[in-house]
Structure 1
Amino acid sequence: MTAAETARVGAATRSRPGRRTGAGRTGARPSPLAARRRKLFWPLLLPAVLVYVVFFAGPSLYTLWLSLNEWAGAGPMTFVGLDNYRRMFQDPTFHHAFANTLWIILGVGGLTFLVSFVLTMFLRDMKGRKAARSILFFPNIVPSVVLAILWGFLFQSDGLVDAVARLAGVDDPPNWLGQEHLFSVIMVGLVWTSTGFYTTILMAAVDQIPPELYEDCELAGANALQKFRHVTLPLMWDVVGVCAVLWTISAVKVFEFIYAFAGAAGQMPDTGVWNTALYTYGEAFASGGVPRYGSAAASAVVMLALVGVLVVLIRRVMRRDTVQY
Structure 2
Amino acid sequence: MTPALVLYAIFLLVPVAATAYISLHKWPGYGPMEWSGLRNYRYMFADPVFQQALKNTMLLLVGAGVATFAVSFGLTMLLRDLTGRSTARSVIFFPNIVPALVLSILWGFLFQADGLVNKILRSVGVHHPPGWLSQEHQYTMILIGLVWINTGFYTTIIMAAVDRIPPYLYEDCLLAGANAWQRFRHVTLPLSWDVIGVCSVLWTINSIKTFEFILAMAGSASGLPSTRTWTMSLYAYATAFASEGVPSFGLAAADSIFTLGLVAVLVVLIRRVMRRDPIQF
- TM-score for both structures, normalised by structure 2: 0.98
CA contact (8 A) 1:112 1:191 kept: yes
CA contact (8 A) 2:223 2:243 kept: no
CA contact (8 A) 1:268 1:286 kept: no
**Aligned position for 1:47:** 3
CA–CA separation in structure 2 for the residues paired with 1:113 and 1:84: 36
- 1:125 matches 2:81: yes
- 1:71 matches 2:27: yes
- 1:289 matches 2:233: no
CA–CA separation in structure 2 for the residues paired with 1:246 and 1:77: 36
Identity of aligned residues (%): 60
Aligned residues: 281
**Aligned position for 1:198:** 154
CA–CA separation in structure 1 for the residues paired with 2:42 and 2:249: 15
**Aligned position for 2:258:** 302
CA–CA separation in structure 1 for the residues paired with 2:171 and 2:110: 43
Where does the alignment leave 5 or more consecutive residues of structure 1 unmatched? 1-44
Cα displacement string for residues 25-52 of structure 1 (whole angstroms, at most 9, x for unaligned residues): xxxxxxxxxxxxxxxxxxxx22101110
**Aligned position for 1:231:** 187
CA RMSD between the two structures: 1.1
CA–CA separation in structure 1 for the residues paired with 2:126 and 2:144: 20
Q: Aligned runs of 1:50-199 on 2, under 5 Å?
A: 50-167=6-123, 169-199=125-155
Higher relative contact order (Cα pairs below 8 Å, separated by 6+ residues): 2
**Aligned position for 1:279:** 235
- 1:243 matches 2:184: no
CA contact (8 A) 2:22 2:250 kept: yes
User: Match of 1:180, SS?
Assistant: helix
CA–CA separation in structure 2 for the residues paired with 1:193 and 1:213: 32
Aligned-partner residue type, residue 92 of structure 2: L
Give the drift of 1:265.
Answer: 1.0
User: Match of 1:195, SS?
Assistant: helix
CA–CA separation in structure 1 for the residues paired with 2:175 and 2:22: 64
- TM-score for both structures, normalised by structure 1: 0.85
CA–CA separation in structure 1 for the residues paired with 2:8 and 2:125: 57
Give the drift of 1:166.
Answer: 3.4
Rg larger for: 1
Aligned-partner residue type, residue 188 of structure 2: T
- 1:213 matches 2:181: no
CA contact (8 A) 2:25 2:37 kept: yes
Give the drift of 1:209.
Answer: 0.2
**Aligned position for 1:16:** none
Aligned-partner residue type, residue 235 of structure 2: Y
CA contact (8 A) 2:236 2:253 kept: yes
CA–CA separation in structure 1 for the residues paired with 2:67 and 2:124: 23
